[in-house]
Amino acid sequence: METKTFDVRDIIEDRNALEDKLGEAAEMLKNGGTVAFPTETVYGLGANALDEAAVKKIFEAKGRPSDNPLIVHIAETDQLKELVKEVPEKALRLMDKFWPGPLSIIMEKTALVPDCVTAGLGTAAIRMPENPEAYVLLKLAGCPVAAPSANLSGKPSPTKPEHVLHDLTGRVNGIVLGRTCDVGIESTVIDMSTEPPVILRPGIITKEDIEAVIGTVKIAGRKTDQQSVPKAPGMKYTHYAPNAPMILFDSDPAEMTAEILKRAADELAQGKKVGIIATDETRGLYETQLAPGLRPNTCILSTGSRGDLMTVAHNIFHILRRFDEEKVDIILSESFEAEGIGFSIMNRMDKAADEIK
Ligand code: TXA
Ligand code: MG
């Protein structure tokens, strides 16, 4: 399949120029095609949510299991009418506060939304993304757009145009090349069809942010404990997996740094190329401590400072993909305190990791 690109990197602040540039991409969506586009969280792979044949192309392009439902993206709240039976009062308050923005809200769907979008569930997740490229594309297309993250199924979500080109060239009709995504991890998903509401996927809009608006909500805890928990091999393909095995060190910062240094030295001694997910606070330490002669065999990448978790979230998927480029044999990662945005970051890292120590 030929994949046409629409480069809007220079015109993002100019609505008129965006409309000129994205007209053809919007036509592709209207005509049942697939178009990847940037949102403030990660890039999405879109198709007309009301066109069953178009939605099936998304699953095919990504290699996504058909039992995993998609998020429906809208430009205006008017579009809710055709998609959901009713908007609960608390959902309305969340929309007022957080839309457009990185929050997907699950509500009871209408019969108009095809089963393939929701994997047969009676509910649909709806989201109004914030950035201008997404807004203009959705507005011009004039239809709700189902869009999972624009990666091959199982790979880290794409936060840069190069990631989408790498995964989807030849597999989709169009790719909008925009900015690096500001947020860097996917939207918070909250199920408002139950009481109390349940956060199904944490994001940068945290449980605390939501509770400040609508009161108590439920959230699942981390699926890990402090012991070593190797995942069942069959589970590995499901999420964010870099090519190399990844070990997540989950203890207090001083201890995990020491453990990573020790493990890195062992792996290097065996001739392995080692990737380390560090922080600004520890990168220098790894660089000086690992024997200089072996340094070419290490790739040490910092997610940012521990004091700035927004930046860590912004960088995490890009860093996982960098290790694929660097062809490391093993990835040793620091972890973060699972509080607030740290909880959402750890949700992604737990899934990316093969083993948690
Ligand atoms: O930030 C985002 O949400 C990005 C951008 C492109 O908008 N999209 C995204 O889509 O991350 P995806 O398909 O990778 O993740 C959708 C998540 C999945 O975990 C899916 O199971 C859940 O939302 N989901 C969607 N509809 C659901 C429903 N009706 N009930 C329960 N979970 C649902
Ligand atoms: Mg995804």
pLDDT tens column, 281-330: 999 999 999 877 667 899 999 999 999 999 999 999 999 999 999 999 99
121 lines ligand 1 (CB under 6 A): yes
Angle 308-244-41 from CA coordinates, rounded to 5°: 40
Domains and CATH numbers, the chain: 4-219 (3.90.870.10), 246-356 (3.40.50.11030)
Give the residue whose CA is nearest to atom 6 of ligand 1.
44
- The answer for 190, left when phi > 0, alpha when psi is -120 to 50, beta otherwise, is beta
Name the 3-class secondary structure at 357.
coil
125 lines ligand 1 (CB under 6 A): yes
CA 53 to chain CA centroid, nearest Å? 25
Mean pLDDT score, 228-242: 56
CA of 185, nearest ligand number = 1
List the one residue out of 75, 237, 241, 235 whose CA is nearest residue 147: 75
39 lines ligand 1 (CB under 6 A): yes
Residue 229, pLDDT > 80, answer: no
Question: What is the CA(200)–ligand 2 centre distance, in A?
Answer: 13
72 lines ligand 1 (CB under 6 A): no
Question: What is the CA(281)–ligand 2 centre distance, in A?
Answer: 30
DSSP 238: G
Q: How many helices (H) and strands (E) does the chain have?
A: 12, 16
Give the residue whose CA is nearest to atom 20 of ligand 1.
69
335 lines ligand 1 (CB under 6 A): no
CA 27 to chain CA centroid, nearest Å? 26
Torsion of CA 75, 208, 337, 331, to 10 degrees: -20
Between CA 68 and CA 71 the distance in angstroms is: 10
Entry pTM: 0.95
| Sign of the CA dihedral with 324 first, then 326, 330, and 336 last | negative
Return residues with CB closer than 5 A to ligand 2 (ion): 149
Q: Give the chain's mean pLDDT.
A: 93
Residue 118, pLDDT > 50, answer: yes
pLDDT score of 225: 45
- Number of the ligand 1 atom closest to the C-alpha atom of 203: 1
Question: What is the CA(180)–ligand 2 centre distance, in A?
Answer: 17
Question: What is the CA(117)–ligand 1 centre distance, in A?
Answer: 10
Residue with token string 């569930």:
121
Residue 228 near residue 357, CB atoms below 8 Å: yes
Between CA 242 and CA 3 the distance in angstroms is: 25
238 lines ligand 1 (CB under 6 A): no
End-to-end CA distance of the chain: 44
- Number of the ligand 1 atom closest to the C-alpha atom of 109: 29
pLDDT score of 230: 46
Q: How many CA atoms lie within 13 A of 44 on its CB side?
A: 29
Name the band, by pLDDT with cuts 50, 70 and 90, for residue 70: very high
pLDDT score of 294: 64
Residue 287 near residue 155, CB atoms below 8 Å: no
